[in-house]
Structure 1
């Protein structure tokens, strides 16, 4: 079958090729409604498919961005992705999503692959371990935004939660309800994962502000698959914690599995509060007190900052934007007498 071209559309619609091109690129400023309808009808009748590769070469844009996430199972990740996709949809941009499992080798391959595909920019939840690649993109002024984590020394925009404040909200809420022996549950504590470090620092600082000791034995930091093992050891001690602070949704799930397996009653035996307002928080029994991240606002801002760089194509000034957490009080923390 003969390939349908823009010239075929122009002939059927009785307009010039440049008018069809303007229509396809949504430049309607001097185009009548009648002309738009004729072009639309011609495209439908002929089944014309624009050659996006040719258009991208001409316009020096693929109208595509890449988003590289460290764990697509996190609620933060899926909600931020949704907001990014919404902004891209408004701009007629496509989104390619890659998941690294926090593996720097996978991240390196994805960055190289996406750049080879000539995406117009990248939004990355970084592993923090590909410094040469990050530095190269920054030097080239390639549009780049980090989300959830920043990479010290790399002059790229970063969109993060105010992690110190989130931890303080949790500790203050527990202390105000009469709890003193407070534990924290986190994935492995590693220096390149900024949110974990900041939440743990915020936790310790908030305890000190309330005049409470930091009990190292109450700090469970290990691989997600081993958290229940760590909790078993913690709660077999003579003086277990009265309350737990889960630093994200995945650690929360492990705590909930542990308390169910061990017939621990929330909040009667153990108070519980976590960062990330998981969808089942208000239907779980008891309902779960959480610290919500403004995920959709964060995703929208990440996309806006990326498009600002794509559009301006000039010297970029780094911005680190921290978003405020919100305490949502429910039933997993009670007032102690």
Structure 2
């Protein structure tokens, strides 16, 4: 039988078409299909397909049922990291029959509070929070009302909530270990202005700790505004002081781009000065000789956030302690951290020593 087109088919029409009660049809679309016989499930499913029926999730939520909606608050939707993680969140929602509402705050705490109120007005069943400011009180109120929360990437230390993100201390350790193994001894850690962003704080602090623990390494850290002149000035001043070989360690993808532009403006080739960035971006493999990165498992991070929300929803009313899920990065080694020949110490043991090709 050819499918009939009806943009406004109702639950009652599906019930009539399937020769079923409204209650049975409601159960079919509210996650209680197991209470219906296989034959009845088939009839309802076929009737809904023929009529083009789609359940109104919002209306069901307002009636006191589950809305099947999750909310996600993003600090900066233009950030490639945010987009990649959001894809993982959306994929995990789709697999679970959930829908995702996303709000972008543009790193504005006022917008953050507004969007939090907006998302909760839609009766979302849980929230993934990539915080821009410090909405601890607002989130604490929501948690006390029983709304599951997962903090993504940025922590709020006063809030007892599940957390998912990168193992920032491990990322800095891997970066320093790689640069040190390649022969770089003088390091500049570049970050966006640290402020209240916990990942930046954690990476900054771990860098300082490693320098304190390893006297053979020299290092500096700066968090200039990411405009071309400021970054170029910081990099130029560092290289004027630093003993070669020297390298730049960039705290995220935005900084990696700014540092690459600064080196180009200074006429310095990658490898002549090392460059390693936390976060893998598409263009990093395209800039000769390629930029070494530590890639975050963004899809896994997004999926883990949804998994933790789902676990909270499945254990409604439980008193499980907050969980912290940290992921390791993956090193993508490229030419930007391979010392070029002219940086290596010459062999002075032989008057006839030749330059290695």
Q: Is TM (by shorter chain) over 0.5?
A: yes
Which range moved further: 164-173 or 204-213?
Answer: 204-213
Deviations 1:218-262 (A, max 9, x none): 4220222x3542323441563247210000001111112222233
Partners of 1:316 and 1:142 lie apart in 2 by 14
Listed as ranges, the gaps of 5+ residues in structure 1 are none
In 2, the alpha carbon distance for the partners of 1:51 and 1:299 equals 26
Instruction: State whether residues 89 and 305 of structure 2, in contact with CA within 8 Å, keep that contact through their aligned partners in structure 1.
Output: yes
The two structures have a TM-score, normalised by structure 1, of 0.89
Structure 2 residue 95 is the aligned partner of structure 1 residue 95? no
State the number of aligned residues: 332
Is the 1:141–1:316 contact (alpha carbons within 8 Å) kept by the matching residues of 2?
no
Q: Are 1:84 and 1:300, in contact at CA under 8 Å, matched by a contact in 2?
A: yes
Distance of 2:43 and 2:304 partners within structure 1:
38
Task: Measure, in 2, the Cα distance between the counterparts of 1:289 and 1:124.
Answer: 29
2:76 to 63, 71, 75: 71
Distance 2:23 2:60 in 1: 13
Q: Partners in 2 of 1:233 and 1:82 — Cα distance?
A: 35
* 1:59 CA displacement: 4.6
Question: Could you tell me whether the CA contact under 8 Å between 2:194 and 2:223 is conserved in 1?
Answer: yes
TM-score for the superposition, normalised by structure 2: 0.85
Secondary structure in structure 2 of the residue aligned to 1:281: helix
Query: Aligned to 1:254, what secondary structure does the other structure show?
Result: helix
Q: Deviations over 1:111-147 (max 9, x none)?
A: 1111122111110011342221122123223210101
- Tell me, yes or no, if structure 1 residue 207 matches structure 2 residue 175: no
Q: Does 1:184 align with 2:186?
A: no
Structure 1 pair 222/158, CA: closer, same or farther in 2 (3 Å)? same
Q: Deviations along 1:253-301, whole A, 9 cap, x unmatched?
A: 111222223321111x211001012123333311221112222221111
Greater Rg over alpha carbons, structure: 2
RMSD: 2.4
Higher relative contact order (CA 8 A, sep 6+): 1
Unaligned runs of at least 5 residues, structure 2: 1-5, 345-357
**Further displaced range: 235-244 or 135-144:** 235-244
The within-5 A match list for 1:126-205 is 126-190=131-195, 192-205=196-209
Deviating more after overlay: 97-106 vs 16-25: 16-25
SS at match of 2:313: helix
